[in-house]
């Protein structure tokens, strides 16, 4: 080689290295940085393919369970790479351990094991380490010889510089991801707070309306017997019908507020899901194929069976409606899952829960899915995407999940479907669902009843109703007045109908003090808005609970049972609705 | 290959010629219009749009037909293509909007050759080609070139059924395979010089100084005239820039104009910090290179040729002058062993596109690309 050629060769090498070195680190974005450096490398070195593999642990910045592996983070052309990951013992990686960059051409016996791309039968690879966190693979189809050691050495330093710049990109990416996660968490917390505020508001409204509805329903029912065949009868029936529908809405609102879980105990989710799938089979789309993926031996969850039934029904109904009259699948899954703190961040209410084992209920459909952003509003009361919907179904689900100390996650892709997963804490009790004594039409007997309610219309209604049952009725408009009366007359009082939510001295406190005076007193606690922990008060709970609004028949049945069974305070008696065995929660 | 030369290229004549061609399903009409006396593009689009066929095309400085340059007329070629031509816009942007290529993989399915016609004066043709290669890689061979006017005034020059566009490209995916040859015949004269400040196709600084002044000083010993803003094309046509490509000829960049601040405007992007050489050539080296490009197409096992196509840089015709027919004659004769029965057709271009067989697709200048279509 002449001196001139040597000089021009060195100049050419310097020219390429100069340009390449200035292409490195032009951006903190990994793809842009790779594009800038590697496209130039391809153009100058006449390469047809380049790829960058990075250790998973270097990408995440955390140790990876079960050992790390290499992930393909950049390939040009992107269509050529056929593998997304490489194990640490792959030949491409292992050969790097022998001392840095190496090359192999199609004539070499081990060439084939290095091929991780489509349609490569000839040419040569050069493979460089990228620090201790990755590798760079170059390919030329036109070579029938491997890259020489000198060629590899020429590129060594600039590739090292590229490796350092990639480490910077990965750091930047981790910081950005952490920041994004923090923002997401903050957004989620704000959203949860907003929903909680809405819940408080909804619960308060439902409580007040339930009191009013109790009076409306009760008075309308009291008026009925005198109106047989009278023209006003139809109007009164209309009042009862409308008030009942209003009560159902209040029930949903109260469920959303999370303030309606009066009775809880171990619930077997699997049995309950099967029961609801049987019940809903007549209402869900005939074009839906239901699939069950359920664990047989599922531990019980702590909760209220009626409310969990409502969750199952609402989720399955939503899934069915998402199919929009097309053929599709609904898959219902149950099981136990261990959820870590980072996974909990994906769940609404997850920030209020502990990491650990949860029972899950998952309903997935292959329906229309949702626009991005819709998920955030799904649980707001009165938000609906359906023409006929009220927007209370999922709001109620959220309230029930909240009152059960659970969490909920929605994943959806437009046109592909939606998956909703509910986490529920496992019950610490080993037995089956707490026995609920069914209320029956019991014998009533005349006696003295004390009616305590701050709402005059309700007090008046109860007085009328009890008097019709033969009771002599004492009335108190607040807790203080009630306690005074009870102190004076407890020996005569057979029954106390006590409102839970009253100003100054609430029903719970009144009940405790009455029990101090007479531990055996029969107390029927009623409310349109209740504290879920009412049954577990020190000193004992009520003999029965009556949810507002109630029908006179229900009142009569509860009183009958209480008077027949007598002694308080356990087991707790629940009122029942005509339709489903429960009054809508209020 | 079914092709027609329309010597009176009115919009209605083009539509009439198209009607006579076999353009049923699985075929797409390519229309190349020589810029001299060309018809109004909107009328061409309107007339062809009334026919039940897919079409695309471009205005180019001249046509090649029968191994001759044709400065007036239109060349109509029926291509075998299963999918519609793809229109890509936004080539004026520094960051090529990759959303423009959404779905390109589907359009290329089953094709073996991509024919790419771009606005040759658009700033970011290289961005398009990079993105195209990233998405399609070597699944197809690439051939094509820059459309537009030799006046170097930019105007709408590529068209499809959707209209005529500037700063755009049209890509047709052809079912037939191709053998490609790419050469230019220019060699190192001076350098290296570093393009220390560039943007797209404009070089502002060479060696950290005014690009025009550095270039002027570098070529001064080789020319008999004083280089000025007015005569620059006359000089740069003979002394283009070359960008190193290992194991191959340099990629040529043709400075075609100088701006008021001494910036050199090229056909095709010049990356910042790239090291350039100043090249020179002569008629013999260029014509030999063209012949070699054609010979490259003949290498390999026997094939059944279905047509041949040449994209030759218009600046080569200016440089070669009266010798230019010799270049096309050389190509014709070198292709004879495999494509003697196929008429040689093509275009003179403002920049050439080729992947050189399996290679990285690039926008070239002052080069000749030969392609032989085969089954």
CA Rg value for chain B:
20
Chunked mean pLDDT (size 10), chain A, 586 residues: 71 91 92 93 91 90 71 88 86 84 92 87 93 93 91 94 94 89 83 77 81 86 81 84 82 70 74 86 82 88 84 89 86 91 85 90 91 75 63 81 90 89 83 40 65 89 88 91 90 91 84 89 81 50 84 87 65 40 31
CA Rg value for chain A:
35
Q: Is A18 on the interface with B (CB under 8 A)?
A: yes
The answer to pTM > 0.90 is no
Q: What is the mean pLDDT of residues B201-223?
A: 95
Whole-angstrom distance, CA of residue A402 vs CA of residue A395 = 11
Could you say which DSSP state residue A231 is in?
T
Lowest mean pLDDT among A361-375, B108-122, B287-301: A361-375
Q: Is A27 on the interface with B (CB under 8 A)?
A: no
- Phi-psi group of B174: left, alpha or beta (phi > 0 → left; psi -120 to 50 → alpha; rest → beta): beta
Point out the residue among B136, B272, B275 whose CB comes nearest to the CB of A77.
Answer: B136
* A225, two tokens: 């017997």
ipTM for the predicted complex: 0.82
Cis check: omega of the bond before A77, within 30 degrees of 0: yes
CB A247 within 8 A of CB A215: no
Which pLDDT belongs to residue A529?
64
User: What backbone torsions phi and psi does residue B12 show, to the nearest 5 degrees?
Assistant: -70, -35
For B133, nearest residue in chain A (alpha carbons): A77
SS3 A396: helix
Specify the pairing of strand B202-206 against strand B264-267.
Answer: antiparallel
Could you say which DSSP state residue B36 is in?
B
Instruction: Scan residues 45-64 of A and list those with Cβ closer than 8 Å to B.
Output: 45-49
Q: Mean pLDDT, chain B, as a whole number?
A: 92
At residue B183, does pLDDT exceed 90?
yes
For B130, nearest residue in chain A (alpha carbons): A39
Residues on chain B touching A40 (C-beta within 8 angstroms):
271
Q: Which among B136, B194, B246 is the top mutation candidate for probing chain A, defined by the most A β-carbons within 10 Å of its own β-carbon?
A: B246
Of the two residues B198 and A259, the one the predictor is more confident about is B198
Whole-angstrom distance, CA of residue A178 vs CA of residue B288 = 61
What is the interface size between A and B, counted as CB pairs within 8 Å?
73
CB contact under 8 A, B105 and A43: no
Q: What is the mean pLDDT of residues B87-99?
A: 85
Which pLDDT belongs to residue A65?
59
Which pLDDT belongs to residue A540?
66
Sequence-separated (6 or more) residues with CB below 8 Å from residue A38: A50, A52, A74, A76
Lowest mean pLDDT among A334-338, A528-532, B78-82, B135-139: A528-532
CB contact under 8 A, B359 and A46: yes
Q: Which residues of B touch A (CB under 8 A)?
A: 105, 130, 133-139, 188, 192, 194, 243-248, 251, 271-275, 358-360, 362
Point out the residue among B133, B244, B275 whose CB comes nearest to the CB of A77.
Answer: B133
Point out the residue among A8, A22, A77 whose CB comes nearest to the CB of B137.
Answer: A77
CB A65 within 8 A of CB A116: no
What share of chain B has pLDDT > 70, as a percent?
A: 99
Q: Is A154 on the interface with B (CB under 8 A)?
A: no
CB B296 within 8 A of CB B180: yes
CB A459 within 8 A of CB A453: yes
Whole-angstrom distance, CA of residue B57 vs CA of residue B159 = 5
Handedness of CA A454, A456, A457, A458 (dihedral sign): positive
Which pLDDT belongs to residue B357?
57
CB contact under 8 A, A79 and B275: no
Which pLDDT belongs to residue A424?
93
Whole-angstrom distance, CA of residue A343 vs CA of residue A348 = 11
Whole-angstrom distance, CA of residue A51 vs CA of residue A61 = 21
Residues on chain A touching B192 (C-beta within 8 angstroms):
11-12, 15
* A103, two tokens: 């090359």
What share of chain B has pLDDT > 90, as a percent?
A: 72
Helices (H), A97-226: 111-114, 149-223
CB contact under 8 A, A43 and B136: no
Give all strands (DSSP E) within A42-159, no chain letters.
49-55, 70-76, 85-86, 102-105, 124-130, 134-140
Whole-angstrom distance, CA of residue B93 vs CA of residue B123 = 7
Which pLDDT belongs to residue A569?
44
Residues on chain A touching B248 (C-beta within 8 angstroms):
46
């Amino acid at each position: 080689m002449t001196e001139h050629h040597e000089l021009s060769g060195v100049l050419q090498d310097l020219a390429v290295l100069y340009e390449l070195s200035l292409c490195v680190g032009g951006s903190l974005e990994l793809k842009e940085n790779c594009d800038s450096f590697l496209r130039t490398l391809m153009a100058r070195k006449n390469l047809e393919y380049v790829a960058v593999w990075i250790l998973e642990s270097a990408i995440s910045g955390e140790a990876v369970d079960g050992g790390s592996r290499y992930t393909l983070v950049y390939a040009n052309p992107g269509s050529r790479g056929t593998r997304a990951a490489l194990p640490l013992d792959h030949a491409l990686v292992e050969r790097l351990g022998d001392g840095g960059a190496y090359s192999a051409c199609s004539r070499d016996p081990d060439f084939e094991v290095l091929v991780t791309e489509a349609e490569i039968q000839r040419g040569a690879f050069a493979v460089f380490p990228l620090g201790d966190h990755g590798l760079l693979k170059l390919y030329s189809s036109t070579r029938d010889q491997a890259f020489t050691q000198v060629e590899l050495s020429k590129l060594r330093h600039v590739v090292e510089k590229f490796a350092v710049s990639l480490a910077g990109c990965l750091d930047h990416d981790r910081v950005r991801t952490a920041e994004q996660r923090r923002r997401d968490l903050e957004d989620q917390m704000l959203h949860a707070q907003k929903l909680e505020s809405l819940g408080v508001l909804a619960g308060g409204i439902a409580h007040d309306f339930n009191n009013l509805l109790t009076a409306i329903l009760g008075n309308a029912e009291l008026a009925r017997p005198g109106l047989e065949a009278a023209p006003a009868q139809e109007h009164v029936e209309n009042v009862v019908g409308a008030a009942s529908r209003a009560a159902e809405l209040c029930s949903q609102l109260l469920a959303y507020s999370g303030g309606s879980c009066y009775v809880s105990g171990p619930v077997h989710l699997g049995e309950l899901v099967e029961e609801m799938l049987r019940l809903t089979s007549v209402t869900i789309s005939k074009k839906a194929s239901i699939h069950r993926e359920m664990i047989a031996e599922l531990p019980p969850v702590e909760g209220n069976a009626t409310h969990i039934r409502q969750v199952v029904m609402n989720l399955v109904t939503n899934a069915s409606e998402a199919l929009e009259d097309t053929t599709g699948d609904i898959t219902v899954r149950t099981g136990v899952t261990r959820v870590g703190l980072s996974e909990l961040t994906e769940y609404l209410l997850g920030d209020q829960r502990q990491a650990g084992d949860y029972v899950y209920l998952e309903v997935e459909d292959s329906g229309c899915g949702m626009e991005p952003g819709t998920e955030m509003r799904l649980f707001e009361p009165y938000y609906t995407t359906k023409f006929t919907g009220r927007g209370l179904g999922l709001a109620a689900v959220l309230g029930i999940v909240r009152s059960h100390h659970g969490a909920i996650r929605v994943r959806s892709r437009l046109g592909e479907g939606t998956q909703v997963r509910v986490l529920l804490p496992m019950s610490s009790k080993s037995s089956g669902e707490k026995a609920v004594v069914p209320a029956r039409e019991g014998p009533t007997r005349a006696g003295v009843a004390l009616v305590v309610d701050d709402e005059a219309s309700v007090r008046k209604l109860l007085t009328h109703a009890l008097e019709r049952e033969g009771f002599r009725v004492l009335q108190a408009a607040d807790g203080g007045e009630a306690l005074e009366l009870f102190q004076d007359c407890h020996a005569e009082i057979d029954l106390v109908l006590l409102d839970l939510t009253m100003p100054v001295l609430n029903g719970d406190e009144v009940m405790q003090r009455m029990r101090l005076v007479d531990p055996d007193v029969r107390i029927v606690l009623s409310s349109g808005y209740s504290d879920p922990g009412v049954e577990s008060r020190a000193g004992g709970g009520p003999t029965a609970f009556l949810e507002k609004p109630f029908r006179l028949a229900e009142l009569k049945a509860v009183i009958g049972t209480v008077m027949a069974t007598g002694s308080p305070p356990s087991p707790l008696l629940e009122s029942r609705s005509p339709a489903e065995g429960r009054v809508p929660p209020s | 290959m079914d092709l027609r030369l329309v010597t009176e290229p009115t919009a209605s004549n083009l539509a009439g010629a198209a009607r006579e061609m076999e353009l049923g399903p699985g075929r797409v009409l390519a229309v190349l219009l020589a810029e001299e006396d060309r018809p109004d593009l909107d009328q061409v689009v309107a007339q062809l749009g009334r026919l039940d066929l897919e079409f695309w095309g471009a205005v180019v400085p001249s046509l090649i037909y029968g191994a001759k340059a044709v400065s007036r007329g239109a060349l109509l070629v029926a291509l075998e293509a299963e999918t519609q031509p793809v229109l890509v816009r936004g080539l004026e942007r520094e960051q090529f909007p990759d959303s423009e290529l959404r779905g390109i993989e589907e359009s290329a399915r089953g094709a073996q050759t991509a024919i790419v016609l771009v606005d040759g004066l658009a700033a970011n043709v290289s961005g398009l080609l990079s993105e195209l290669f990233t998405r399609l890689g070597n699944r197809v061979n690439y051939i094509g070139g820059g459309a537009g006017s030799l006046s170097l005034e930019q105007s709408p020059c590529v068209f499809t059924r959707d209209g005529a566009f500037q700063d755009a490209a049209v890509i047709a995916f052809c079912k037939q395979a191709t053998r490609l040859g790419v050469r230019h015949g220019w060699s190192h004269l001076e350098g290296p010089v570093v393009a220390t400040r560039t943007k797209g196709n404009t070089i502002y600084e060479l060696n950290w100084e005014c690009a025009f002044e550095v270039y002027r000083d570098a070529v001064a010993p080789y020319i008999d005239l004083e280089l000025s803003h007015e005569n620059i094309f006359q000089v740069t046509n003979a002394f283009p820039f070359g960008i190193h490509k290992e194991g191959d000829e340099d990629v040529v960049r043709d400075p075609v104009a100088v701006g008021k601040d001494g910036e050199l405007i090229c056909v095709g992007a010049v990356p910042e910090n790239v090291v350039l050489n100043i090249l020179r050539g002569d008629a013999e080296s260029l014509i030999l290179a063209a012949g070699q490009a054609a010979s490259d197409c003949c290498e390999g096992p026997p094939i059944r040729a279905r047509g041949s196509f040449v994209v030759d840089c218009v600046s080569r015709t200016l440089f070669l002058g009266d010798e230019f027919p010799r270049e096309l004659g050389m190509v014709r004769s070198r292709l004879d062993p495999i494509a003697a029965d196929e008429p040689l057709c093509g275009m003179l271009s403002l920049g050439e596109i080729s992947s050189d067989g399996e290679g990285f697709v690039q926008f070239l200048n002052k080069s000749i690309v030969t392609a032989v279509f085969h089954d």
